[in-house]
Amino acid sequence: MRLPTWLVTALACVAPFTTPAAALASSSPSAPPDGLLALDGEWTYVEDRTEGRALERLGPPMSTTFVFRIEEDAVILVRGHGSGHRDVRIALDGSTTEVTGPQKITRYHATWGDDALTYEVNFLRGENREPGRMIRRQFRITPDGLLVRARSGPTGFESVALYRHAEDIALPTPADAAIGDLAWLAGAWVGTRGKSSIDERWTPPLGGSMLAVSRTVSRARDRMVAFEYLRIIERDGGLVYIAQPNGGSPTEFTLTELSATRAVFDNPRHDYPKRIVYELSADGALSATIGFMKGGTPRQFEFTREGD
C-alpha cells in the first residue's frame, strides 16, 4: 500500500538521523528544513476543524486550493493566498516584502519555527497608508495532512482546517446504479436565481448515458453570461457526472447516494463544488444544490419543467 506523500514527509521529519553525514547535511544552511520543503505544491481543502463552529459556518479559512513553491531561503505564494494574479516571494530572513498597488500597499512577513510556517499580511490603504486589516496564517504538516490556522486582525476570529494534496484525498465509494435510475431527471428545466435566468436540458437515458446543456442569461442585459456541458454515464456498475463549465476541462463526480427522487454526486478532490445534489420534489419541481462535502452554505437552484 502506498503511503500518502504528506505522511511519508511527516515521518521523515521526525525520524532520527543515524549517520554523521546525514547530520551534517541536515545542518547545512543552504538547504531548507524537510518540514518546510513538505509544503511545496498544491493543497486542496478537506474539512473545517474549528472547534464549536456551527455546521452552516464550516468552510475553508482561505482559498479551497492554494499553491506554495519553496526555495532555498524563501517561500513563494503562487495561487490561492489572496495575492491576486501575481506570485509573491517572501524571504525567511525576517525581512518584509512589500507589494505596491494603485489603492493599497500590502506587506508580507514570514517565519519558520517550531516545524511550522507562519506568514502575516498587512494592508495599508488611502493616501496616508493607514493600517487596515491584518491576516495571519500558520501551516503545519501533521499525520492527517496540512493543518492551516488563520486569524483576521489582532483579536479576530481563528479558523482551523485540514488540507491535503489532491492525490492523497480518498475517493468516495460509488453507489450501484444504472442510467435508467435517473429517468426522472430528463426534460427541460427552467428557473431564476437573482437577476439571472437558468435553463438545464437533459436528454432521456439512452446507450448508458444522459446529456445536458445548461445556460445562464442575465435578464437585465438579455445576454448569456455562462454555459455548461453536462454528462452522466455508466461506469463500472455506477454513474459518473461530468461537468464542463463554459466548455472547459471536464471534472468528474461519482454517484454516492441514490433514491427514486434524489441523486448525490461527490468529488472531494475538486476545489468547489465538491458535492452536487439533484432532488425532485413531490410537486414535480427540481432543485440542484452545490457545496462542500460537509457544512457551509450550499448554493441552491430551483427549476420547474418548461411549460408548467
Predicted pLDDT of residue 103: 74
List pLDDT tens digits, range 91-107.
999 899 998 877 788 99
Query: Which of 1-5, 163-167, 185-189, 217-221 has the lowest average pLDDT?
Result: 1-5
Strands lying side by side in the sheet with 145-152: 88-91, 74-79, 65-70, 41-48, 158-164, 145-152, 130-142, 116-125, 104-113, 97-100
The residue behind cell 439533484 is: 278
For residue 269, pLDDT over 70 is answered with yes
| CATH number listed for the domain at residues 179-305 | 2.40.128.20
The cell for 169 is 484525498
The answer to whether 83 and 77 are in contact (CB under 8 A) is yes
Give CATH 2.40.128.20 domain extents, the chain. Answer: 5-167, 179-305
Lowest mean pLDDT among 24-33, 60-69, 142-151: 24-33
Concatenated DSSP letters for 2-21?
PPPHHHHHHHHHHSPP-SHH
Q: What is the pLDDT of residue 129?
A: 62
| Stretch 251-268: mean pLDDT | 98
Instruction: Please report, rounded to a whole number, the percentage of residues in the chain having pLDDT higher than 70.
Output: 87
Q: Is the pLDDT of residue 15 over 50?
A: no
Query: Which CATH code, of 2.40.128.20, 3.30.110.40, 3.40.960.10, 3.90.650.10, is assigned to 5-167?
Result: 2.40.128.20
Report the chain's C-alpha Rg in angstroms. 24
For the stretch 203-245, pLDDT in tens is: 999 999 999 999 999 999 999 999 999 999 999 999 999 999 9
Full DSSP string of the chain: -PPPHHHHHHHHHHSPP-SHHHHHHHT-TTS--HHHHTT-EEEEEEEE--TT--GGG---SS-SEEEEEE-SSEEEEEESSS-TTS-EEEESSS--EEEE-SSEEEEEEEEEETTEEEEEEEEEETTTTEEEEEEEEEEEEETTEEEEEEEESTTS-EEEEEEE-GGGSPPPPPPP--GGGGGGG-EEEEEEETTEEEEEEEPPPBTTEEEEEEEEEETTTTEEEEEEEEEEEEETTEEEEEEEETT-S-EEEEEEEE-SSEEEEE-TTSSS-SEEEEEE-TTS-EEEEEE-SSSS--EEEEEEETT-
pLDDT band at 10 (very low <50, low <70, confident <90, very high): very low
> What percent of the chain lies above the pLDDT cut of 90?
77
Q: What is the mean pLDDT of residues 134-147?
A: 96
Average pLDDT across the chain, whole number:
88
Per-residue pLDDT at 21 exceeds 60: no
Using pLDDT thresholds of 50, 70 and 90, give the confidence band for residue 20: very low
Where residue 31 falls among pLDDT bands split at 50, 70, 90?
low
Residue 251 β-bridge partners? 243
Which pLDDT band, with edges at 50, 70 and 90, does 126 fall under? low
Please report, as a single letter, which amino acid is at residue 1: M
